[in-house]
Amino acid sequence: MVKPLTIAIIGGGFSGTMVATHLLRLANCPLQIKLIEKRANIGQGLAYSTAVEHHVLNVPAGKMSAFPQESEHFINWLQNRYSEKAFTANSFVSRHYYGEYLQSILQEAHEKARKDVQIEHIHYEATELQPVDDQVVITCGNGRQITADRVVLALGNLPPSNPPIADPSFYQSRRYQRWAWSTSLENIVQPDDAILLIGSGLTALDLVVNLHYKGHQGKIYMISKRGLVPQAHQQTPAYPFCLKTEQNLNGLFKHIRQEVKKAEKLGYDWRSVMDALRPHTQDIWKSLTLVEKRRFIRHLRAYWDNHRHRIASGVSDIITKLRTSQQLSLYAGEIIAYQEDMDGVTVTVRPRGSEHTHTIKVQTVINCTGSERLTSQWQYPLLKNIISTGVAQPDALELGLEVADNGSLVSRTGAKSTTLYTLGPLQKGCLWETTAVQESRQQAEKLATTLLDSFSLRNTIRPLKSSTINIESYTVQPMITPAANFVGVAPY
Ligand X SMILES: Cc1cc2nc3c(=O)[nH]c(=O)nc-3n(C[C@H](O)[C@H](O)[C@H](O)COP(=O)(O)OP(=O)(O)OC[C@H]3O[C@@H](n4cnc5c(N)ncnc54)[C@H](O)[C@@H]3O)c2cc1C
Q: Which residues bind ligand X (CB under 6 A)?
A: 10-16, 36-39, 45-47, 57-59, 125-126, 154-157, 206, 382, 424-425, 435-438, 440
5-10, strands of its sheet edge to edge: 117-122, 31-36, 5-10, 150-153, 416-422, 408-410
The answer to whether 239 and 210 have CB atoms below 8 angstroms apart is no
Please give the Cα distance from 420 to 404 (Å, whole number).
Answer: 11
Which residue's CB is nearer to ligand X, number 139 or number 363?
139
Q: How far is the CB of 427 from ligand X (least distance, A)?
A: 10
Q: Which residue's CB is nearer to ligand X, number 57 or number 109?
A: 57
Contact criterion met (CB below 8 Å) for 193 and 185: no
Cα–Cα distance between 207 and 209 in angstroms, integer? 5
Min dist CB 195 to ligand X, Å, is 18
Pick 32 or 434: Cβ nearer ligand X: 434
Nearest distance from C-beta of residue 98 to ligand X, angstroms: 7
Give the three-class secondary structure for 221. strand
Q: Which residues of 430-451 are buried (b: 16+ CB within 10 A; e: fewer)?
A: bbbbbbbbbbbbebbbbbbebb
Whichever of 175 and 212 has its CB closer to ligand X, that residue is 212
> In the complex, what is the shortest distance from the CB of residue 13 to ligand X, in angstroms, rounded to a whole number?
2
Closer Cβ to ligand X, 382 or 387, answer by number: 382
CB of 466 to ligand X, least distance (A): 30
Residue 147's DSSP bridge partners are 137
Residue 244 CB, shortest distance to ligand X, in Å, is 28
- Looking at the Cβ atoms of 309 and 350, the one nearer to ligand X is 309
Min separation Cβ 79 and ligand X, Å? 18
Nearer to ligand X, 385 or 460 (CB): 385
Contact 367/222 with Cβ under 8 angstroms? no
Burial of 347 (0-12, 13-18, 19+ CB in 10 A): buried
Whole-number Cα distances in Å, 370 to 104, 178, 404: 28, 11, 26
